[in-house]
Amino acid sequence: MRTPFIAGNWKMNKSPDAAVAFVREIAPLLDAIDGIDSAVCPPYLAIPAVAAAVAGTKVGVGAQNMYFETSGAYTGEISPTMLQGLCRYVILGHSERRALFGETDEGVNKKILAALAHNLTPIVCVGESLTQNEAGETQSFVSGQVRAAFAGLSDWQAAVCVVAYEPIWAIGTGRSASAQQAGDIIRTSVRDVLTDLFGSDTAQAIRIQYGGSVTEGNIADYMSQPDIDGALVGGASLKPTFVDLVRSAVI
C-alpha cells in the first residue's frame, strides 16, 4: 500500500520571512491529517528556516533543484552535500528547468544518482508538451523520459524515488488533464515502464504524483485513479487552502 504524498513546489515565491510565517500557519494543520505525507519545497534561502519551523511535525521539506557535483567552480549552483541534512526531498527535471535552463535527460539522471548517494529523495518530473500531446506522442515521449531518468539505478534506488507526471501544457495554465487521462498516461507511460525496468514489486512501490493546475476542488478526482498516489502542486501550494487540498487527497 503506497502512502499518498502531496508536495508543494513554491517556485520563486516567498521571502524567507514570508515562508516561515506561512509554514507556521499551515504546518500544525497538515500535521493533524492522518494517512498522507505532505511536504513543501521553498526557495533555497528559506529551506533552513522552514525546516526549523516544521521540526517535530510530519511535514517534509524539499529543494527545487540541485547540481550533481558535490563542490567546485559551478557559480550559482547548490550541491547535494549542501542540502543533505537540511531537507529530505529534491525536485529534479522540472519542465521549467528543462525549458528555461537547458536541462537534459542525461543531466537529470546524474542529479538523481547524486541525490540518492546523499540520502535525498528525488521527485523526478516528466511530462509532454501540448504539441507532443496533440501529435499523439505522449506515451513514447514520457516513457523515454522515464527510461532516461532511471538509467543505471538499482531496484532499491528506484523504489526510493517519487515520480511526478506533469503535462507541460497544464502547468500554471488553469488547464489540466482529466483524471482518467492522467491515470491512463501514468499507468502506460510511467508505471508500466518502471515494471519493465525493475519488475512489478519495485514498480508498485514507487509513488507517482500528478501535477498541473491541481486544486482542492479537483484533487479527489485524481486520487481516485489507482496509479496516482498524490500531486506536485504549484500555485495552489502558496495559499492556506493548500491544507484543504491535502485533506481532500485522503480517500
Is 234 annotated among the ligand-binding residues?
A: yes
Is 134 one of the annotated active-site residues of the chain? no
Instruction: Encode pLDDT of 200-240 as tens digits.
Output: 999 999 999 999 889 999 999 999 999 999 999 999 999 99
State the pLDDT at residue 56.
97
Among residues 94, 96, 128, 216, the one annotated as catalytic is 94
State the pLDDT at residue 38.
99
Task: Report how far apart, in Å, the C-alpha atoms of 1 and of each of 8, 162, 200, 232 are.
Answer: 22, 15, 14, 20
Is 15 annotated among the ligand-binding residues?
A: no
pLDDT band at 17 (very low <50, low <70, confident <90, very high): very high
Please give the CATH number for the structural domain made up of 5-248.
Answer: 3.20.20.70
| Residue 64, C-alpha cell as written in the block | 527545487
Share of the chain above pLDDT 90, in %: 91
Q: Is the pLDDT of residue 174 over 80?
A: no
Is 166 one of the annotated active-site residues of the chain? yes
Spatial distance between the Cα atoms of 122 and 126, rounded to a whole number of angstroms: 12
Instruction: Encode pLDDT of 67-89 as tens digits.
Output: 999 999 999 999 999 999 999 99
